[in-house]
Structure 1
Amino acid sequence: KEEVKAPKVNPVTDRDEVITGNGMKGAEVSAKVNGTEIGKSKVDEEGNFEIKIAKQKADTKISVTQTVDGEESPAAEVVVNPSKAATTHVFKKGYWESYGLILNGQVKMEGVDLSKKESVVKTLELVDESGKVAAAIPTVNTNWYTPGQYDGYQVTLSEKTMAAVQAGTYKLQVNVVVGNGEATIVPIAVENQKMFGIQAYQDAFLDIPTNNVGLKTIETMSKDGQAMLKVTTPDKPMMGLISEGQSKNGRFVNGYVLNTDYNFSEKHQKNVVIEDKSGKVVKELKNIHTWDLTSWNLGISGLDMKSGFQVIIPNEYQNTSLYQYKLQVVTGEEEALQLEVALDKII
């Protein structure tokens, strides 16, 4: 007579309503929790069985036995695993502040309670080309998108955060931990369509303009549908953008100059040259306003406080598909050129 052994039971999660496994043909199979039967079935001709059950809580121990000709097998025990929630990421907003790049997003986790702010931990991770997490940046939980649910986040890529990040390209993903559960990794996907961005707030990740964080230049890009950041360290003077907007006389731009040894405390003049795309000068703006940024509290390492400036681009020269802009620092009556910086952050 064949020995009646314990059946083989497949893993069960807290979202399952059926237990599956293998047993002896024709055997009666029974599933119990703490001695109480929660379901039963029969092994088919292929040696498989399915037992319909109510959903069980994670960590519940289920005992499954099979009975042949009145002989019951030893129990096979299976512990209910917490299920991995179906997750999706929705990019919401991206914009630059003087202290860094701000990203807002939403992580939707099907069937997961995100109502307790302190139990939801989201971390933005920058993953290098080898698959290693190069930077893990804490986020702030928000409940802006689903009332009562902290499925949103806001994260700042500041100068301090990016200082240790080497030049390269990085995939973006959100690491989510709820309570004592396991981490769920959610890639930040890039939508194909481009949505309308209001002022400097961009609804599409790829619409966020390239800008500087300290001595790092940050550019948004994508690969295989996933959001990425390209981080570079420039080898020439570069423009930093503080703010810009439209006025009656044109588009005003407040910025500064980084990555230069020039001493802006020396007497100098800042001019802006507007060129067409062939490089022909079409307009010169002489002696634009210089800001002393000491009281602005920008917190940017290596910033010469006298490098700040404001330029107003006349309305007729605002089309960046037709024109490009350069800041020139000159000295003396002969306006000797000391340095030239592309104003490539103007949008």
Structure 2
Amino acid sequence: MKKTVSVTDSKGQVVKTITAANTDWYKTGQFDGYQFIVNNDVLGDLAADDYSFTMNIKIDGVDQDSVKLELNKPAMRSGAYHDKYNDLESVVLKENKVSPFVSDNSPAIKIEKFGEDTQLRLFNKYWNNNTELVFDGYVTGEESFKDLNKTLEIKDSSNKVVKTIENLHSAPTSWGIPTSVGDDHTFQAIIPKDFGNEKNYAYALKVLDKEGKEVYNFELK
């Protein structure tokens, strides 16, 4: 038995096919479960649109069934593991904002692009191997940022500043897509685990001059 998952756009066109693994999670020896991974390269290359997922089954090379995935009790993750699809966090991959949503009891994703006039651009938003939330991004513009202090500010739900991290490092630049900015315009903000719950905390990139005066203030989300 071979299972594949079709990634289908809003016009019904299949844009990507992903191999799914057979699993016997529900009864040992009965492989009626599945697992599939929509990896970063796939998500980062999708055009702006809404996408759904369809399971295709072949036995001995013969098509048997093709059904739209429904939300029963799958285990899913973008950051932490979740039982509810609606609880999945949005991520950013290659400047694609990926937002999970539910459509007719089926899992779906929305891909959005940053507008051309957006000054702060996130290239990636993800969870690293230490399960820390990470923002990689850059600020457009021709002015030099070499003498400016890029600072991360974290506020709690009462709008109180609970953590400040100064002198953020430049982001890794091996992204594979040109950004037309120098390294001094880039940043990497790693959120400490204690402040990584986006429902409880808000994040901002502040750019300060030598005197500590705020030059830019951007929300990170």
Classify 1:318/1:155 alpha carbon distance in 2 versus 1 (closer, same or farther; 3 Å). Answer: closer
Counterpart among 53, 66, 81 of residue 172 in structure 1: 53
SS at match of 2:86: helix
How much has 1:308 moved relative to structure 2? 1.9
**Larger RCO: Structure 1 or Structure 2 (Cα < 8 Å, ≥ 6 residues apart)?**
2
8 A Cα contact 1:274 1:323, kept in partner: yes
Classify 1:137/1:253 alpha carbon distance in 2 versus 1 (closer, same or farther; 3 Å). Answer: same
Alignment gaps of 5+ in structure 1: 1-113, 115-119
8 A Cα contact 1:273 1:325, kept in partner: yes
8 A Cα contact 2:206 2:214, kept in partner: no
1:203 aligns with 83
Between the aligned partners of 1:226 and 1:177, the Cα distance in structure 2 is: 22
Classify 1:164/1:276 alpha carbon distance in 2 versus 1 (closer, same or farther; 3 Å). Answer: closer
Q: Give CA deviations for 1:220-278 in whole Å, capped at 9, x if unaligned.
A: 111211111111112233443343698xxxx95433115x4258973432212234557
Counterpart among 131, 149, 167 of residue 269 in structure 1: 149
Classify 1:186/1:271 alpha carbon distance in 2 versus 1 (closer, same or farther; 3 Å). Answer: same
2:208 aligns with 330
2:161 aligned with 1:285, yes or no? no
Report how many aligned residue pairs link the two structures. 209
How much has 1:340 moved relative to structure 2? 1.8
Counterpart among 112, 117, 125 of residue 241 in structure 1: 125
Q: Give CA deviations for 1:281-333 in whole Å, capped at 9, x if unaligned.
A: 53461415425536xx6x553467652233437x5x66644542212233433
1:84-99 counterparts in 2 under 5 A?
Answer: none
2:19 aligns with 139
Classify 1:336/1:321 alpha carbon distance in 2 versus 1 (closer, same or farther; 3 Å). Answer: closer
Point out the structure with max Rg over C-alpha.
Answer: 1
Q: Give CA deviations for 1:137-168 in whole Å, capped at 9, x if unaligned.
A: 32253446354848533223333x24553322
Classify 1:137/1:167 alpha carbon distance in 2 versus 1 (closer, same or farther; 3 Å). Answer: same
8 A Cα contact 2:156 2:162, kept in partner: no
SS at match of 2:81: coil
2:102 aligns with 222
2:69 aligned with 1:188, yes or no? yes
2:136 aligns with 256
2:1 aligned with 1:127, yes or no? no
RMSD: 3.8
Between the aligned partners of 2:75 and 2:7, the Cα distance in structure 1 is: 25
Classify 1:179/1:288 alpha carbon distance in 2 versus 1 (closer, same or farther; 3 Å). Answer: farther
Between the aligned partners of 2:168 and 2:30, the Cα distance in structure 1 is: 48
Between the aligned partners of 1:323 and 1:238, the Cα distance in structure 2 is: 20
Give the counterpart letter for 2:36 in structure 1: Q
SS at match of 1:206: helix
2:35 aligns with 153
Between the aligned partners of 2:33 and 2:201, the Cα distance in structure 1 is: 42
Alignment gaps of 5+ in structure 2: none
SS at match of 2:189: strand
8 A Cα contact 2:169 2:188, kept in partner: yes
Work out the percentage of aligned pairs sharing the same amino acid. 14
Between the aligned partners of 1:163 and 1:292, the Cα distance in structure 2 is: 18
Classify 1:196/1:170 alpha carbon distance in 2 versus 1 (closer, same or farther; 3 Å). Answer: closer
8 A Cα contact 2:132 2:196, kept in partner: no
2:185 aligned with 1:301, yes or no? no
Classify 1:329/1:200 alpha carbon distance in 2 versus 1 (closer, same or farther; 3 Å). Answer: same
Classify 1:171/1:302 alpha carbon distance in 2 versus 1 (closer, same or farther; 3 Å). Answer: same
Q: Give CA deviations for 1:84-130 in whole Å, capped at 9, x if unaligned.
A: xxxxxxxxxxxxxxxxxxxxxxxxxxxxxx3xxxxx2x332222333
1:340 aligns with 218
Give the counterpart letter for 1:175 in structure 2: N
Indicate the larger mover: 301-310 or 203-212: 301-310
Between the aligned partners of 1:244 and 1:331, the Cα distance in structure 2 is: 30
